[in-house]
Structure formats: structure tokens, C-alpha cells
Amino acid sequence: MKRNIIIFLEVLILVLVVGFGAMFAYMTVTDKNIMNNNKKKQDANDKVVALIEELNEERTTFQDPISEGDNDADRVGRYDDLLSDPDVLKENKIYPVESASEDVIKLLFAGDVGFADGYAILGNIKARGGNIESAFDTETLDFMRSADIFMINNEFTFTDRGVPIEEKTYTFRCSPEFSRFYKDMGVDIVSLANNHVYDFGEVSLTDTIDTLNNCNVAFVGAGLNRTEAMKPAYYIVNDTCISIVSATQIERVDRPDTKGATDTSPGTFRCWYDDTVLEVIKEAKAHSDYCIAYIHWGTELEEAPDWAQLELAPKLAEAGADAIIGDHPHILQRIDYIGDTPVIYSLGNYLFNSKTLDTGLMELNINMGDGSLRARFVPCIQSACRTCLATGTEKARILSYLSSISPGVCIDEEGWITKR
């Protein structure tokens, strides 16, 4: 009997030893796999930061990408390693662009665009044949398409779902099929940081994000969570990195109809009584050569910038914004310089309603020889649900008006801007 008990205990101990050994081995392999997966993801995130920081530290002066006597075969770009990793590009919203020129990078910005169903713009486009050519003439389309990067404000939602926000006066949505207009216009990136991307509830924002992803148009200023909403877009053009950050002050209430993103819910990147945008700009500037801030702010139909715009603009410039582009007031507001940073407080409506009004495009040119950034206002007129480049006396009139409300700058007859 005693011997049987001893044999039983020996067998039990053996089973326990083998069992715990197998369990320990499984847990070790599993933990190792988890650690490896986490490390790979972290490495992908860290790689872009480390590489760009290293390159920026080494670069003390702005150099022409192709020095005299060099050729394309001999040149190694600062961002070549970065551009070779598709996972890093996707994770960090980095977009390579082939510039039309080796001498100048051309950035173009417009204000509010709206293709909402049931409103004048889309109705007239449909009535005129359903093509974007009915909303812009050939010269204007060619000019928009000539930009290396063209950005607008997406002042509506792409969705067929949801219900209008209760008691909101204007709610805008458009079928996702019309997202094709953006490629026709030459649009590369849109801002979703505005007070209409949530007009039909959360689903209308998520549908808009899905639509833009499906048609390969980048977006900033909103996302499926706060991290995504804050994330800048980075463009690599002519071996130069340009970051774009977008945020909104509108609506200026504690509980807005257009929800701000949280850690767990979709929404916009809000900067009303929130200085996070300044930290995002500092970070974006640290990882890029130029940083553009595109901000939804101001008071509708007011010619002059309001106190909140005037308070935030210097902070954006100090944080590292190389240019500040504003929208929301639906009309043009003044152009200014804060230090070396050009600011246009509102670009107004670009293609948004049936009114006849002055509008325009803000052009930024980066000179690849000396790294200088020049700003130009390109006058346009929105009329009869079409927007066209202004010419002749109308062009001169708009530039004269803009000069009259912008005492801090000089604007020449072609729209080039210098600070006084």
C-alpha cells in the first residue's frame, strides 16, 4: 500500500513538472511573439521620427537638391530611406509627390467647398451635365491642377446615411459618388476641421473618412479618435518635407454639435480653449522643413479678424507655423505677417453657394535654391455657382480691396505679398 502511494506521488509530480514546463514554454513563446509584434509597430513609428530628426540635425543650410555637376544617378535624397518603407508612410500619413519643377514647390490653398445635395452648387453641376467643368473654366482648372499640393476645406459630409443634427439650421451631405470631383479639381488634401463634418451624426463623419480613403484624397483635422484627428499630413517634395496641421475653433461652445474627437470616439481636432494644436505644430515642425497651419476660425461675414483669431495666430507662428491659412467667415479677410509667417485670416468661400463674391487662392512657393517661402494671393470670383480666376479690372479691383484691408503688407499687381 505504501509503495503504491509512493508510485502515485511520483507520477503526480512528473505530470505536474511536465505540465508546468509546457505551460511555461507556451507562455514564453507567446510573450515573445507579442513583444516582437509590439516592437515592430513601435519601430515603424520611431523610424520616421528618428530618421527625420537625424536629417534635420545634419542640415545646417538649405541646399539645392541637385548641386552643380551632380546628376540624378549620383544623388542620394535625405528622405530616400523613408520613402522606401510603405508601412511607415501609411502609419505616419506621409505622401511622396513628384514636383512639376526642380526649382520651386508650389502649394495652393482654397477656402470652403460644398457639394451638398439639395443646394445650389451640386444642383447646377448636375443640370449642366454633371462634370466639374461646369463649375470651373479650363484656365482655373489648369491652374489648380498645376499645384504640387492643393488643399481645400471640405465643408460638408460624404454620406447617404444618418439623420440631421436636431435644430441645426444648415446640414450638408453629398453622395460619396461625387468625391470624384476632387480628383477632377486636382485636390490632394482636405481639411475636415470644420463645423459641418458631423452634420448627420457620427456615421456621416466616418463615412466621409471612408470616402476620402477610397478615393485617395488625404485629410487632416478629424479622425476616428483624437490621435488620428490631431495627426499632421507630411508631404515629401523635391527632397523637402512639408507638414500640414488643421484644427477648428468652431463651434465656440463647450458642447458643440460637431463633436471633438476623444480617445475612443470620432470627431474633429478642436482648438477652442485648447492649446494642444500648438504642441502638434511644434512636433510637426520638428519633423519637417516647413509647417502649414490650416485653421477654421473667425466670425461669419465679418471683414475683420475677431479677437480669438488675433490671439491664436501669433501662438501658431511662435509654435513653428511657416504659414497660416484661415477659413470659416465665408468672405475674405486681411493678409498679414507675424514675423516671417504670412497669414491670411480667411480665404472665404471658394465654391460654396450661388452668391456672387470675391474669393481666391493662396499660393505658397518654396524656392529650392535658397529655401525662401513666397506668398501670393490669386484673385477669383464665385458667381452663378462657378468659380473662375479674376482677370483685368476685376483682378485689379480685388487686389486693391485686399490691400486696403491689409495695412501690414504690400500686394503687387500679380498678387505677390511682402511685409511692410
- Computed on alpha carbons and rounded to an integer, the radius of gyration of the chain in Å comes to 26
Rounded CA-CA distance 400/54 in Å is 46
pTM (whole model) above 0.75: yes
Q: For residue range 153-201, list pLDDT tens digits in order.
A: 999 999 999 999 999 999 999 999 999 999 999 999 999 999 999 999 9
The model's confidence at residue 13, banded by pLDDT at 50, 70 and 90, is low
How far are the Cα atoms of 82, 226, 247 from residue 91, in angstroms, in the given order?
A: 12, 15, 20
Same domain, 46 and 165: no
Measured on CA atoms in the order 368, 340, 55, 279, is the torsion positive or negative? negative
Q: Characterize 186-214 residue by residue with b for buried, 16 or more Cβ atoms within 10 angstroms of its Cβ, and e for exposed.
A: bbbbbbbbbbbbbbbbebbbbbbbebbee
3-state secondary structure 206-270: HHHHHHHHHCCCEEECEECCHHHHHCCEEEEECCEEEEEEEEECCCCCCCCCCCECCCCCCEECE
Look at residue 40 and tell me whether its pLDDT is greater than 80: no
Q: For residue range 367-382, list pLDDT tens digits in order.
A: 999 999 999 999 999 9
The separation between CA 379 and the C-alpha centre of its own chain, rounded to angstroms, equals 23
Residue 65 maps to a domain: no
Same domain, 157 and 25: no
Other CB atoms closer than 10 Å to residue 394's CB: what's the count? 15
Same domain, 52 and 84: no
Same domain, 279 and 374: yes
Domain that holds residue 132: 80-419
Residue 29 maps to a domain: yes
Look at residue 302 and tell me whether its pLDDT is greater than 90: yes
Residue 36 maps to a domain: yes
Same domain, 369 and 403: yes
Give the domain CATH number at 190. Answer: 3.60.21.10
End-to-end CA separation in angstroms for the chain: 106
Residue 64 maps to a domain: no
Q: For residue range 331-362, list pLDDT tens digits in order.
A: 999 999 999 999 999 999 999 999 999 999 99
Residue 274 maps to a domain: yes
Peptide bond connecting 251 to the previous residue in cis, omega within 30 degrees of 0: yes
Rounded CA-CA distance 142/164 in Å is 36
Closest by CA position to 113, among listed 79, 78, 156, 142: 156
Greatest alpha-carbon pair distance for the chain in Å reads 115
Same domain, 95 and 10: no
Same domain, 49 and 89: no
Same domain, 319 and 198: yes
Environment class of 354 (CB within 10 Å of its CB; exposed 0-12, middle 13-18, buried 19+)? middle
Rounded CA-CA distance 273/252 in Å is 9
Contacts of 140 (CB under 8 A, 6+ apart): 380, 387, 388, 389
Q: For residue range 115-147, list pLDDT tens digits in order.
A: 999 999 999 999 999 999 999 999 999 999 999
How far are the Cα atoms of 145, 277, 393 from residue 108, in angstroms, in the given order?
A: 10, 22, 23
* Structural domain count, the chain: 2
Q: Tell me the three cell numbers of residue 198.
A: 458631423
Residue 73 maps to a domain: no
Judged by DSSP in three states, 340 sits in coil
Measured on CA atoms in the order 45, 50, 55, 59, is the torsion positive or negative? positive
Residue 69 maps to a domain: no
Same domain, 318 and 198: yes
Task: Identify the pLDDT of residue 37.
Answer: 41
Task: Identify the pLDDT of residue 32.
Answer: 44
Residue 280 maps to a domain: yes
- Residue 107 main-chain phi, psi, to 5 deg: -110, 140
Same domain, 51 and 113: no
Same domain, 29 and 151: no
Contacts of 240 (CB under 8 A, 6+ apart): 65, 105, 289, 290, 366, 368
Q: For residue range 69-95, list pLDDT tens digits in order.
A: 344 434 458 998 888 899 999 999 999
Rounded CA-CA distance 29/128 in Å is 64
Same domain, 141 and 244: yes
